[in-house]
Amino acid sequence: MLPYAGGSFLIILLGVITRRSVYFTAPRSIEIREETLSEPGPGDAVVQTMLSAISPGTEHLVYQGLFPGELAIDENIASLRGHFDYPLKYGYSAVGQVIALGPAVEPAWLGRTVFAFNPHESHFIAPVTSLIPLPEDMSPETAVFLPNMETAVNFILDGKPLIGERGVVLGQGIVGLLTTALLAQFPLERLVTLDRYALRRQASLELGAHASLDPDDTGAQDQLHLLLPEGADLCYELTGSPTALDQAIAITGFDGRVLIGSWYGQKRLSLDLGGRFHRSRIRLISTQVSTLAPELTGRWSKRRRFEVAWEMLPRVGPARWITHRFALQEAAQAYQWIEQHPDQSIQVVLTYP
């Protein structure tokens, strides 16, 4: 395909496009591969990527090779079907511009800026039914947070925070910060967060957390007892580290609930369940965005949850947490940076010049 500048957007004439895609080829090994893009089929559009967000959670496990190979990548997203196995493309947050249309697609799609659940690559083909046009006043930098915002909304739905409750969020990465931002809108008695890195703790306090502690601080446990003398009613474990689950249980009070939003991959741990866990009737709850809690499905659907996530994005304004940008060809450096400098990064994005 040959590009031709037409009006305010790019029109693609019949020809060939070579796209560049990020491939995970082995643990801590990234390649940029060139691929020939096929012609869009009926109902499809060609999207030229502008920005994509790197997930420091699940995607980092893929980078480290800590995924379970027998697990499907994501059965709910067409671009991520298959199983975890090298080499693979991964990523699920891309914003780009529609530059060509397949047969039977409304011409109004041409030139639109859209969001898509798609791996990191310069161009891709997707059914227009899977593309989400951005509101006119929403920037690509805000829209790339949509998947993680939907996850945070799901965490709130599963956690069911109540007025006057005491809440704790362990882990203030992107999903942790978004969860904190939503919890801060509830009339909680107290909201406490924990994270190892000062940059993230400061962002948490700016969102409305009453206190944000370093879990490795020798005085953290005493501070938690002062802040939450009867323990937490609701505790989210979002660190990605299995060892944090013991701390989440220790923080939680009688009949409290621990929401486990982390995906540990192949990481294993031994839990201390021989102490106060049983007598305190603490509930451990798995929460994950690919499904809705069965008790909610009479009134809630994925579409409704998605609409709430869109609405929350401009209210929270997460684009301020983009700390680093790397060009697509620098993807290997981007993943190295995230692993080596977690204290200096919150959200890292890839750009497509």
One pLDDT digit (tens) per residue for the chain, 353 residues: 333 333 333 344 446 889 999 999 999 999 999 999 999 999 999 999 999 999 877 788 888 887 765 555 555 555 455 566 889 999 999 999 999 999 999 999 999 999 999 999 999 999 999 999 999 899 999 999 999 999 999 999 999 999 999 999 999 999 999 999 999 999 999 999 999 999 999 999 999 999 999 999 999 989 999 999 999 999 999 997 778 888 888 899 999 999 998 776 666 677 777 778 777 898 998 888 888 999 999 999 999 999 999 999 999 999 999 999 999 999 999 999 999 999 999 999 999 98
Residue among 81, 92, 101 nearest 121 (CA):
92
271 and 347 within one domain: no
Position 30 scores a pLDDT of 95
**Angle between helical axes of 146-159 and 174-183 (0-180°, round to 10):** 50
Residue-number span of the structural domain to which 38 is assigned: 2-144+319-351
Could you tell me if residue 311 is inside a domain? no
Position 320 scores a pLDDT of 97
Three-state secondary structure call for residue 247: helix
110 and 224 within one domain: no
156 and 131 within one domain: no
259 and 199 within one domain: yes
Could you tell me if residue 70 is inside a domain? yes
By DSSP bridging, strand 166-170 and strand 232-237 are: parallel
Domain count of the fold of the chain = 2
114 and 66 within one domain: yes
193 and 114 within one domain: no
Could you tell me if residue 304 is inside a domain? no
AA letter at 352: Y
From the number of C-beta atoms within 10 Å of its C-beta (0-12, 13-18, 19+), residue 163 rates as: exposed
Give the CATH number for residue 47.
3.90.180.10
341 and 240 within one domain: no
Could you tell me if residue 256 is inside a domain? yes
Could you tell me if residue 288 is inside a domain? yes
Could you tell me if residue 310 is inside a domain? no
274 and 158 within one domain: yes
Could you tell me if residue 85 is inside a domain? yes
Give the CATH number for residue 236.
3.40.50.720
Quote the CA–CA distance of 346 and 319 in Å, as a whole number: 11
Sequence-distant (≥ 6) Cβ neighbours of residue 79 within 8 angstroms: 116, 117, 118, 119, 124, 126
105 and 183 within one domain: no
pTM as predicted: 0.88
Position 353 scores a pLDDT of 81
7 and 130 within one domain: yes
139 and 38 within one domain: yes
281 and 153 within one domain: yes
